[in-house]
Amino acid sequence: MNTPPLSSKIVWCVGLTQLINWGITFYLLGAYGRAIAHDTAWGETLIFSGLTLAMATMGLVSPLFGQWLTRMGGRKLMQLGALLNGFGCLLLATSQTVDIYFLAWLVMGIGMRLSLYDAAFAVLVSLAGTAARKPIAQVTLLGGLASVVFWPIGDTLLQLFGWRWGVGCYGLFALLSMMLCGCLPDVQGAPEACPRLPAVNAPHSGHDRLKGGLYAALMALLGFLATGISTHLPLILANAGLPVLLGALWGVGQVSARLGDVAMGSRGSALGLNLVVGILLPCCFIISLLGQTSLVGTGLFVLGYGAINGLSTLVRATLPLTLFESHLYAGRMGKLLMPGFFLSALAPSCYASFRERFGDTGMLAISLALACMATVLAIGIYLVGSAQPTPHRDPGGQGDHCLTKRNP
C-alpha cells in the first residue's frame, strides 16, 4: 500500500517538535541547572547527573522502540513521548526530594527516546523510505536551534518566575509538541506486512552483522566525543583565557553544515558523507591542540567541530538507509544505537576525569586518539558498504514502502 507523501507541513511540524523537545529536555539544565542546585542545596554534580540518568534510560528502552513504533504508529508514539516529557517537567518542577528529582529524569528519559531525533527519523523513514534523507536534514535544521531558542526563554522565565514555574512552563511547551505531532498520518511500520524476501538474502546475514557492528561502534564513539566536548567546552575556553561566547560558533558550524547538506540535495551519498566526517574529525582536534590558546585556532576548532557534529547527526540518520533495507530501520536503529546512549551518558563524567588527571591538553589528545579510531571505523563502513550486494526489491515494485500500513 502506498504511503502518503511527506508534505512541507509534515516536515515543518516534525521539525518544530524537535526544537521544542530538545529545548525542554536536553537543554533544560543549561537554563535552570545552577538555580536548581542553589535552591535545593543538592549540589551541581547531583543536579546534572539527572541528564545522565535520562540518557542511560534512553539506552535501556531503545531496543523496544521498533516494536512500539510497529504497534502504535509514529504519531501516537511521538505524542506519548511529548506527554512523558511534559509530565517529567511537572515532576521536576514540584520535586522536594532527590528521589522525585531522579524519577522526573527517568520519565523524561523514556520520553526523550520516543520524541527526539532518532524517533523522528524512524517515523520519517516509515513514511518515505529512502526518500527521507532530505526531510531528515530539514528537520535537523530546526532541531539544531533548540539551545538558541530555549536558553533565552528559560533564562527569561527564570528571572520572572523562578526555576520551578519556569520548568512547569516547559511542560506546557510539551503539550504544544503533542499538538504538532497530530499532523503526522496515522501510519505504522509493520514488518509482517511485507512479502517474504527470497532466500538469496540469507547468506548476507554475516555481512549485515559486520555493517551493523561498525555502524554501532562509530555512532557510539561520535556520541561520546560530542557529548564530552560540548559539556566541557565552556571550561576549556575559560581555562585558555578565551571568551566563552566563542562557543556560539559550535551552533553556527552545526547549522551551516546542515544547510549545506540540504542545498546539496541528493547529489551526495550517505557513505561519502560518513567518510568526510571520519577524515575531518581528527583534523579538528589537531587544530585544537596546535591553537589551544589562540583565538583564531580555537575558533576554527569550535566552528569546525560544530560542523562535523552537525553532519554526524545526518550520517547517524541516513547511513542505515544505505547499509540496510529501510523497512528494518526502526528495529535496527533501536538496537544499534543502544551502546551509544550508554557511552554518551558516561561522557560528561569521563571527560571530567580526563581534565582532572591530564588537563585540557591531555583531554584533547585523548579525543584525538578516539577520533582516529572513528576514522578507521568510517573507512571500514565505506569499504564494506561500497562492496555490499544490491538490495533485493520486490517484484511488485512496492520497494521501501511494502512494510507500511495505515491504521483503519
Question: What pLDDT, in 10s, does the model give residues 67-79?
Answer: 888 788 878 889 9
- pLDDT band per the 50, 70, 90 thresholds, residue 401: very low
207 versus 221: the higher-pLDDT residue is: 221
pLDDT for position 45:
79
pLDDT for position 187:
62
Contacts of 47 (CB under 8 A, 6+ apart): 29, 33, 36, 37, 40, 101
- Asked if the model's pLDDT at residue 252 lies above 70, the reply is yes
Instruction: Let me know whether 55 and 137 are in one domain.
Output: yes
With cell 526544537, the residue in question is: 19
Total tally of structural domains belonging to the chain: 2
H-helix or E-strand containing 374?
helix 338-386
Q: What is the mean pLDDT of residues 215-227?
A: 92
- Asked if the model's pLDDT at residue 337 lies above 70, the reply is yes
Kindly state the percentage of the chain with pLDDT values over 90: 31
Q: What is the mean pLDDT of residues 270-288?
A: 92
Bridge partners (DSSP) of residue 406 are: 187
Instruction: Let me know whether 212 and 78 are in one domain.
Output: no
Q: What is the mean pLDDT of the chain?
A: 82
With respect to residue 400, please indicate whether it lies within any of the assigned structural domains: no
Q: What is the mean pLDDT of residues 139-144?
A: 84
Which grid coordinates belong to 114?
A: 520516543
Q: Which of 181-185, 187-191, 205-209, 356-360 has the lowest mean pLDDT?
A: 187-191
Last residue of a domain, one of 139, 169, 189: 189
Instruction: Let me know whether 101 and 228 are in one domain.
Output: no
With respect to residue 392, please indicate whether it lies within any of the assigned structural domains: no
| DSSP for residue 397 | S
Structural domain for 349, as ranges: 200-386
Instruction: Let me know whether 246 and 339 are in one domain.
Output: yes
Q: How do beta strands 404-406 and 187-189 pair?
A: antiparallel
Last residue of a domain, one of 138, 164, 189: 189
| 179 neighbors 53 (Cβ within 8 angstroms) | no
With respect to residue 195, please indicate whether it lies within any of the assigned structural domains: no
With respect to residue 406, please indicate whether it lies within any of the assigned structural domains: no
Instruction: Let me know whether 259 and 294 are in one domain.
Output: yes
* pTM of the predicted model as reported, rounded to 2 decimal places: 0.79
H-helix or E-strand containing 406?
strand 404-406
pLDDT for position 198:
42
Instruction: Let me know whether 207 and 181 are in one domain.
Output: no
Instruction: Let me know whether 120 and 163 are in one domain.
Output: yes
With respect to residue 3, please indicate whether it lies within any of the assigned structural domains: no
Instruction: Let me know whether 211 and 267 are in one domain.
Output: yes
- Asked if the model's pLDDT at residue 164 lies above 90, the reply is yes
Q: How many helices (H) and strands (E) does the chain have?
A: 16, 2
With respect to residue 403, please indicate whether it lies within any of the assigned structural domains: no
Nearest-Å Rg of the Cα atoms of the chain is 21
CB atoms within 10 A of CB 15: 21
CATH for 273: 1.20.1250.20
Instruction: Let me know whether 78 and 212 are in one domain.
Output: no
- Asked if the model's pLDDT at residue 169 lies above 90, the reply is yes
Instruction: Let me know whether 20 and 139 are in one domain.
Output: yes
Instruction: Let me know whether 292 and 167 are in one domain.
Output: no
Kindly state the percentage of the chain with pLDDT values over 70: 87
Q: Highest-confidence range of 229-243, 313-327, 341-355, 362-376, by mean pLDDT?
A: 362-376
Instruction: Let me know whether 371 and 241 are in one domain.
Output: yes
Q: Which of 116-120, 243-247, 325-329, 393-397 has the lowest mean pLDDT?
A: 393-397
Last residue of a domain, one of 189, 213, 239: 189
- pLDDT band per the 50, 70, 90 thresholds, residue 26: confident
